[in-house]
Amino acid sequence: MIVLGIETSCDETSAAVVESDATGAHATLRSMVIVSQDVHRLFGGVVPEIASRAHLTSLVPAVRQALADAHLTPGGIDAIAVTCGPGLVGALLVGVSWAKAYAATLDKPVLGVHHMEGHLFAPSLEDPTAEPPFTALLVSGGHTLLLDVPAWGDYRQLGATRDDAAGEAFDKVAKLLGLPYPGGPFIEKLAATVAHPGDVPKAFRFTRPITHGGQRPGDADYYDVSFSGLKTAVLNAVRGSTDIERDRALIARGFQDALIGTLAEKVGRAVEACGRTRVVLGGGVACNRALVNAIQARVGRGVTVHAPSARLATDNAGMIARAGAWRLARGERSGAGLGAFASHPLPGVAAG
Ligand code: KG4
Ligand code: ZN
């Protein structure tokens, strides 16, 4: 089955072609085009209307290129998978409307895909062993989710953020430090200039949020994370600094150590409680090598950590086509009534 994927939930316009087996269990990426909207850097964050208009301009050329790269004509695709939420509604509407119209023209099925389910499937495009059962940590600009995944489509939510998403925390702290948007890669680079955690002065060794040893499985805070207090601690450190040029990298390192320390601890708890031997990471923050290394160190050598490459960790249509292929193979279809949703429950999710 050949699936055309469309992703327009935020500030990347992407089209991709995925080829899967009849069960949707295995799939390969045949082509992918990602058009990143750099314009938002000028405003320090995504401007929704600009994002929607840019999708409108880029989507058709992106699809044409993805089909050409896969050596396909439009008639060669079997179905279309499109992100229908969560995300910016105006941005989503461009992709959903276009996908429905294209599917109607070609007389092919269309399926709405949950953006975070796409992130969950992304590593399996590069590594077929990144399949359930596994523990999953999804860390993007808008979401932070810790899941136990016994099977595709069966998601047990163990924890989530209580306030800021991990990527949002990176972006806000980057702003406090005077770094460009999106801040994650800049903080990672700056933090790496500090060789050892011990080089960070005490004032910038921030507490790892809600990780104290007294927590037990079943406690509400055993798996949840929270980053707004950490952000405030960084704000106070910046305000208290007498030489921000000297302290910027030290604060970035202290912040990153605290944030990834929390995430690694929560993933470690989930792996132990659920007895999993695989961890799957997804979302833009999964590009952060220090995070991947910290998780690997916490779970030990007996557990494989699957982190997608940067291209598949950040928003892309390959992951949407991949998740769509699995659902389409099960006979799922969306039909002409498909809408776009700012927030949207992950299909098949239950409390862990
Ligand atoms: O998944 P994604 O591309 O878009 C959303 O669905 O939100 O994630 C974007 C987020 C941004 O907050 C960005 O700062 C963060 O991923 N990010 C990183 C890194 N690369 C991107 N955060 C930390 N370290 C990185 N290397
Ligand atoms: Zn995303």
- My answer on whether 233 and 331 are in the same domain is no
CB 28 within 8 A of CB 19: yes
Strand ranges inside the chain, DSSP E: 2-7, 12-20, 27-36, 79-85, 110-114, 134-139, 144-151, 154-160, 278-282, 304-306, 349-351
Query: What is the residue-level pLDDT of the chain in tens, covering all 352 positions?
Result: 999 999 999 999 999 999 999 999 999 999 999 999 889 989 888 899 999 999 999 999 999 999 999 999 999 999 999 999 999 999 999 999 999 999 999 999 999 999 999 999 999 999 999 999 999 999 999 999 999 999 999 999 999 999 999 999 999 999 999 999 999 999 999 999 999 999 999 999 999 988 888 888 888 899 999 999 999 999 999 999 999 999 999 999 999 999 999 999 999 999 999 999 999 999 999 999 999 999 999 999 999 999 999 999 999 999 999 999 999 999 999 988 999 999 989 999 998 8
Q: Give the closest ligand to the alpha carbon of residue 140.
A: 1
Residue range(s) defining the domain that contains residue 88: 2-121+313-351
pLDDT at 12: 94
Q: Give the closest ligand to the alpha carbon of residue 255.
A: 1
- My answer on whether 321 and 302 are in the same domain is no
pLDDT at 105: 97
- My answer on whether 295 and 324 are in the same domain is no
pLDDT at 213: 80
In sequence order, which residues have a C-beta less than 8 Å from that of residue 18 and are 6 or more positions away?
Answer: 2, 3, 5, 27, 28, 29, 30, 125, 318, 321, 322, 324, 325
We report the CATH number of the domain holding residue 329 as 3.30.420.40
pLDDT at 334: 97
Question: Is 45 contained in some domain?
Answer: yes
- My answer on whether 116 and 142 are in the same domain is no
Ligand 1 atom at minimum distance from 283 CA: 1
- My answer on whether 294 and 322 are in the same domain is no
Q: Give the closest ligand to the alpha carbon of residue 141.
A: 1
- My answer on whether 300 and 325 are in the same domain is no
Q: How far is CA 321 from CA 29, 66, 84, 108, 258, in A?
A: 9, 12, 12, 14, 35
- My answer on whether 57 and 165 are in the same domain is no
Distance (Å) from CA 34 to ligand 1 centroid: 15
Distance between CA 35 and CA 58 in Å, rounded? 7
CB 9 within 8 A of CB 83: yes
- My answer on whether 75 and 156 are in the same domain is no
Distance between CA 144 and CA 319 in Å, rounded? 18
Distance (Å) from CA 96 to ligand 2 centroid: 16
Question: Is 127 contained in some domain?
Answer: no
pLDDT at 46: 87
Question: Is it true that the peptide bond before 123 is cis, omega within 30 degrees of 0?
Answer: no
Question: Is 126 contained in some domain?
Answer: no
- My answer on whether 290 and 318 are in the same domain is no
- My answer on whether 296 and 211 are in the same domain is yes
Distance (Å) from CA 168 to ligand 1 centroid: 8
Question: Is 140 contained in some domain?
Answer: yes
- My answer on whether 16 and 95 are in the same domain is yes
Q: Which of 117, 285, 293 to mutate to test the pocket of ligand 1 (most atoms within 8 A of CB)?
A: 285
Distance (Å) from CA 288 to ligand 1 centroid: 9
Classify residue 218 as left (phi > 0), alpha (psi -120 to 50) or beta. left
Pocket lining for ligand 1, CB < 6 angstroms: 10, 140-142, 167, 170-171, 182-185, 188, 283-285, 287-288, 314-315
- My answer on whether 257 and 337 are in the same domain is no
Number of domains comprising the chain:
2
Distance between CA 240 and CA 144 in Å, rounded? 30
Distance between CA 127 and CA 307 in Å, rounded? 10
